[in-house]
Amino acid sequence: MIDDEGIYPTTAEGLAKLCPVLEQGTVTPGTQTHPADGNCGMVLTSRARARELSRDQAVEVQCLAFGQARARKDFMPQATFWPPGRR
């Protein structure tokens, strides 16, 4: 990650000036979740090195699936993502 827009100071007056994303909508850039809201994890190693560093030799990490969903900035209603096999 190189940069994060993060949370910044605002006021009720400033939020009231934001237009909804959809006509007749209620979601604005000020009422949706933080653009980086979510989770991520990354492990780059070999199986041998992971076992060497592990406190519990019985633990093994597997990648079962991954996915990505994107929408243009400030348009969260469009970013619906269905995990594989769950739609």
pTM confidence score: 0.34
The per-residue pLDDT string of the chain (87 residues; one tens digit each, 9 = 90 and over) reads: 566 666 677 888 998 898 887 888 877 877 766 655 555 667 778 888 888 888 888 888 777 667 666 666 655 555 555 555 555
Contacts of residue 74, defined as CB under 8 A and 6 or more positions apart, other chains included, come to 21, 29, 32, 35
What residue segments make up the domains of the chain, in order of their start?
41-86
